[in-house]
Amino acid sequence: MRRERIRETSMEVTVGAFLFMALLALGVFTIILSRQSLFRPTLYYDVTFRTVMGVREGENVYLRGVIVGKVDDIVAERGHVRLRLALNRPLELHENYKIEILASSLLGGRYLNIEEGDEDRPLLSPGTPLVGTTPKELLDEATRTVASVRQTLEGGVLDQIRSIVSNANSIVARVERGEGTLGRLTREDGLYADVSAAAASLRKVVDRIERGEGSLGRLLTDDGRVYRDIEATAANLRKASDDLAQGRGLLGKLISGEDAMMEDLRATVASVRAVAEGLRRGEGTLGRLLTETEVYEDLKQGLRELRATIDDFRETAPITTFSSIFLGAF
């Protein structure tokens, strides 16, 4: 009897434990699948759409990619459909918010995506009716895109592509035949050797420049002295250029076209030209000296005589001086 009682108790405990565990699992399943938190209040928002494209109750609601709730109720009303969203957190929507229905995959399934809007835009006042964006059907969009692409292609783009392909084929054929530089490059080893040699030379030049050899190399590798020289030269040139531009100095005045200076210069040039022409015509002493040989000879003779006179005077000067001093005593 006691054994029977123990057996019965054991049976009761086992069955009770199983019932408890199974009911607990059922409860947990129910809570998980209802997507509602027991410890956080559920907030309800109404959003109206013109059409909801087959959204069902229980579809997920995402906020910035995070599931924040589900579609709790769908009511078709006059002119629109109202969706009641059950969310586990409050929404702070700005004026340019966006609530749209998107396809989960090509095979079906939908979800609601909420974008709160830019933070620099004003917040919606409480009680503002929320309006959702009309959803886009993924397959319809794809079909329209394909049709658009086909229309574009058939509108001449396809012919252009064919033409481009034809030209490319022609170019490739020429290259294969060894025509043109590219063709010769593919056919002739000599050209390749030339290109290689040129590349090697170029590499040598570049190496020398990198080592700081030559003017260009020094220019690139110098510690700045050449640069400073060039900079100073450039500054001097700029100053000279500024002076010329501002009419400073003789050249500047000439370039700037200062009237008085030009007039003086013109008069001087005219005078010089007149003197030169007079000389060429043999006018005046200097002209005659240039054009007449006799004058030159007379002048030469006169100079000789003058020199002889001076020599005579130099020779008689002591006697004359002595005589003057001696006779002066009397």
Partner 1 sequence: MWALRFVLSRRNRREVLVQLFVTGIKSLGVLSVVAAFIGMILALQTGLELRRYGQEVNIGTAVTVVMVREMGPFMTGLVIAASVGAAIAAQMATMTVSEEIAALEVMSIDPVRFLVMPRLAAMLVMMPLLTVYTNVLGVLGGAVVGKTQLGVALPAYFDNAIQFVRNKDLYVGLFKAMVFGVIIVTVACQQGFQASEGAVGVGVATRRTVVISFLTILAVGYMITRLFYT
Nearer to partner 1, 64 or 225 (CB): 64
The beta strand positions in the chain, using DSSP E, are: 43-49, 60-63, 66-77, 80-87, 98-105, 108-115, 130-131
- Residue 90's CB: how many other CB atoms inside 10 A? 10
Measured from the CB atom, is 105 or 125 closer to partner 1?
Answer: 105
Q: Residue 132: name the closest of 90, 71, 68, 42 by CA.
A: 71
Among 6, 25, 198, 206, binds partner 1 (CB under 8 A): 25
Query: By CB under 8 A, is residue 13 in contact with partner 1?
Result: no
| Residue of 6, 22, 193, 206 interacting with partner 1 (CB under 8 A) | 22
x/- track of binding to partner 1 for residues 59-98 (CB under 8 A): -x--------------------------------------
Instruction: Return the structure tokens found at 273.
Output: 């030209």
d(CA 61, CA 83): 11
Contacts of 190 (CB under 8 A, 6+ apart): none
Rounded CA gap, 13 and 180, in Å?
A: 96
* Residue 106 near partner 1 by CB under 8 A: no
Cα–chain center distance at 81: 51
Residue 103 bridge partners (DSSP): 110
- Does 11 participate in binding partner 1 (rule CB under 8 A)? yes
Task: Give the residue, chosen from 6, 12, 151, 263, that forms a contact with partner 1 under the rule CB under 8 A.
Answer: 12
Judged by CB under 8 A, does residue 34 bind partner 1? yes
Q: Does residue 102 interact with partner 1 by CB under 8 A?
A: no
- Residue 93 or 112 having the CB closest to partner 1: 112
**Does 26 help bind partner 1 (rule: CB under 8 A)?**
yes
Token digits for 139?
Answer: 């397959």
Residue choice 44, 46, 50, 58 for contact with partner 1 (CB under 8 A): 58
Backbone angles phi, psi at 317, to 5 degrees: -65, -40
Can you give the binding site for partner 1, defined by CB under 8 A? 8, 11-12, 14-15, 18-19, 22-23, 25-26, 29-30, 32-34, 58, 60, 109
